[in-house]
């Protein structure tokens, strides 16, 4: 016992030291990006805008357009093209807050997801324009993107936004050498709030030429207009997508029509590592495992006992990582040399894409969640063709589940009728789910679990042997 405690202390001290050193290096690198604010000038007259060209207009999920002088109004919270007194042919004109707009919808494609980018042609006199007290013009090239979830979720960020944006921007730039690609466009993020970027901010920073433009931050400038010189909207290619979130009639599942290859993952990961300045060289000090820790929900209740069993029976040390205690750069550095990763089902598992060949991933699922219905990370690891062993464990004993406390109790569940709540609590397995607001799934996924140590250790031993 004493030897195990000493070993764990050494690992923890090493992790703390690494945390400090890596934080300093990472901040220095990222400040080079964060300090690059987009050039801008104050203007009096609003420039007239136009749609330069659209591509693949008949393709529902891979169409995009280039705008010139696309503007955003914080007063009306809308994008628009100012057309002065010009008549816009064959456009329906209607009243909206005293301004006359002609409506145009442009679809931002996410696989099986109908989300729209909306802009208007502003065709009024300059009188209403004067309602906007603050006006800026941002020269340069910009790329508009969004995502389907409102809160922080690095899995959606990487799958839905960052990978499609990365390959779309490479296509636009004409630079097919991904090893030397540098950002050519500044991102415009139409998210619900800057809070949604909490987990992935560093990744968005390095994907953008200048600091990303976050529309909710512009909204803080009351009655302002911001115009952008050259703006691309849409997805040039969605070939990197591998998962269907279940928007529509079919439940979520791996995409049936996919174009993603191992090279897509390798190019994307190499770019992230290069731009973050992460040294992925592995030391010769021995193998170690990583345990993803969650702070409030989906906790491993008997975590200490699990750590002890892994150390004693598998003979490897364990490094604990979490979003609360580690940066993206730190996670990539540690994961790139890890032999084993253990974590409860959740967005943090997307980071296992950075693991080395012949490593092992154990994804654990709370009670009532069937691993066969939630295959985002399993499919990702299979598609990388890195011989990473994926295994799962599922809690089949509801008595080992602990529901979230009242302060984080799922509101969707508490708003249900007593009959619906009883039905959910009596259901031993959730059916394959549709996106995106399934109260039963949201409730069950937050459960903390006292895992069956014997089952988990047995699964890990077999997986490690298979990976050799």
Neighbours of 65 (CB within 10 A): 21
Pair 76, 69: CB distance under 8 Å: no
User: Residue 205: which of 463, 343, 32 has the closest Cα?
Assistant: 32
Look at residue 195 in the predicted model and tell me its pLDDT. Answer: 65
User: Residue 283 has what DSSP assignment?
Assistant: P
Q: Are 145 and 232 in contact (CB under 8 A)?
A: no
Query: Using CA atoms, how far apart are residues 43 and 134, in angstroms rounded to an integer?
Result: 9
Residues 284-327 pLDDT 10s: 678 999 999 998 889 999 999 999 999 999 999 999 999 989 99
Give the chain's count of helices (H) and strands (E). 14, 20
State the DSSP code for 159.
I
Contact predicate 84/69, CB 8 Å: no
pLDDT at 416: 83
What's the confidence (pLDDT) of residue 459? Answer: 98
pLDDT of residue 170: 94
What is the CA 410 to chain-centroid distance, rounded?
22
Output the CA angle 380-386-392, nearest 5 degrees.
Answer: 55
Please answer whether residues 356 and 336 qualify as being in contact, where contact means their C-beta atoms are separated by less than 8 angstroms. Answer: yes
Handedness of CA 365, 266, 145, 40 (dihedral sign): positive
Give dist(CA 389, CA 387) in Å, integer: 6
Q: Are 126 and 26 in contact (CB under 8 A)?
A: no
- From residue 294, alpha-carbon distances to 233, 316, 344, 345 in Å are 36, 21, 8, 11
pLDDT in tens, the chain (468 residues): 445 444 444 444 444 444 444 444 444 444 444 457 889 999 888 888 988 988 887 776 788 889 999 999 888 888 888 876 553 333 333 333 334 444 454 544 443 445 567 777 766 555 556 666 788 999 999 999 887 776 789 999 999 999 999 999 999 998 888 889 999 999 999 876 666 677 899 999 999 999 999 998 888 888 889 999 999 988 888 899 999 988 777 899 999 888 899 999 999 999 999 999 999 999 867 899 999 999 888 999 999 999 999 999 999 999 999 998 999 999 999 999 999 999 999 999 999 999 999 999 999 999 999 999 999 999 999 999 999 999 999 999 999 999 875 445 555 677 888 998 899 999 999 999 888 778 889 889 989 999 999 999 999 999 999 988
pLDDT of residue 411: 59
The tokens describing 49, both together, are 């805008």
- For position 127, what pLDDT does the model report? 52
Q: What is the pLDDT of residue 318?
A: 97
Q: What angle do CA 299, 301, 303 make, to 5 degrees?
A: 95
Rounded (10°) CA dihedral 208, 213, 214, 220: 160
Q: Hey, CA dihedral for 365, 369, 375, 376, is it positive or negative? A: negative
Question: What is the spatial distance between Cα 392 and Cα 342, in angstroms, rounded to a whole number?
Answer: 9
Contact by Cβ (8 Å): 258, 126? no
User: Tens digit of pLDDT for each residue in 21-40?
Assistant: 444 444 444 444 445 788 99
For residue 23, the model assigns a pLDDT of: 43
Residue whose structure tokens are 């599942």: 253
Distance CA 131, CA 76 (A): 11
**114 is written with which tokens?**
């109908």
For residue 14, the model assigns a pLDDT of 47
77: left (phi over 0), alpha (psi -120 to 50) or beta: left
440 contacts 411 by C-beta, under 8 angstroms: no
């Amino acid at each position: 016992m004493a030897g195990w405690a000493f070993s764990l202390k050494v690992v923890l001290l090493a992790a703390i030291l690494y945390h400090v050193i890596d934080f300093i290096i990472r901040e220095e690198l990222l400040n080079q990006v964060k300090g690059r604010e987009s050039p801008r000038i104050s203007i009096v007259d609003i420039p007239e805008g136009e749609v330069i060209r659209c591509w693949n207009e008949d393709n529902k999920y891979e169409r995009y357009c280039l705008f010139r002088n696309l503007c955003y109004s914080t007063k009306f919270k809308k994008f628009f093209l100012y057309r002065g007194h010009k008549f816009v042919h064959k456009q329906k004109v209607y009243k909206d807050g005293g301004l006359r707009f002609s409506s145009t919808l442009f679809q931002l494609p996410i696989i099986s997801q109908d989300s729209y980018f909306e802009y208007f042609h502003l065709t009024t006199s300059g009188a209403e324009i004067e309602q906007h007290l603050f006006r800026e013009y941002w020269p340069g090239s910009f790329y508009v993107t969004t995502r389907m979830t409102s809160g922080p979720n690095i899995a959606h960020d990487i799958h839905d936004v960052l990978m499609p944006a990365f390959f779309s921007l490479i296509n636009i730039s004409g630079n097919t050498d991904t090893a030397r690609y540098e950002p050519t466009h500044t991102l415009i993020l139409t998210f619900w709030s800057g809070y949604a970027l909490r987990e992935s901010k560093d990744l968005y920073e390095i994907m953008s030429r200048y600091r990303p433009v976050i529309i909710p931050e512009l909204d803080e400038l009351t009655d302002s207009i911001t115009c952008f010189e050259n703006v691309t909207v849409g997805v040039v290619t969605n070939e990197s997508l591998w998962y269907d979130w279940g928007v529509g009639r079919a439940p979520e599942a791996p995409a049936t029509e996919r174009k993603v290859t191992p090279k897509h993952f390798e190019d994307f990961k190499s770019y992230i590592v290069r731009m973050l300045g992460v040294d992925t060289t592995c030391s010769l000090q021995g193998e170690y495992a990583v345990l993803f820790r969650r702070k409030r929900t989906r906790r491993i209740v008997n975590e200490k006992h699990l750590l002890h069993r892994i150390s004693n029976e598998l003979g490897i040390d364990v490094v604990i990582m979490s979003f609360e205690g580690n940066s993206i750069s730190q996670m990539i550095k540690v994961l790139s040399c890890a032999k084993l990763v253990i974590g409860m089902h959740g967005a943090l598992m997307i980071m296992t894409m950075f693991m080395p060949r012949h490593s092992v991933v154990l994804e654990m699922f709370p009670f009532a969640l069937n691993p066969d219905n939630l295959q985002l990370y399993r499919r990702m690891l299979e598609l990388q063709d890195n011989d990473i062993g994926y295994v799962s464990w599922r809690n089949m004993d509801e008595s080992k589940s602990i529901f979230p406390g009242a302060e984080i109790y799922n509101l969707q569940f508490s708003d249900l009728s007593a009959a619906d709540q009883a039905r959910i609590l009596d259901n031993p397995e959730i059916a394959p789910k549709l996106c995106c607001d399934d109260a039963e799934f949201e409730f069950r996924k937050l459960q903390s679990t006292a895992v069956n140590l014997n089952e988990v250790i047995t699964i890990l031993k077999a997986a490690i042997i298979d990976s050799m």
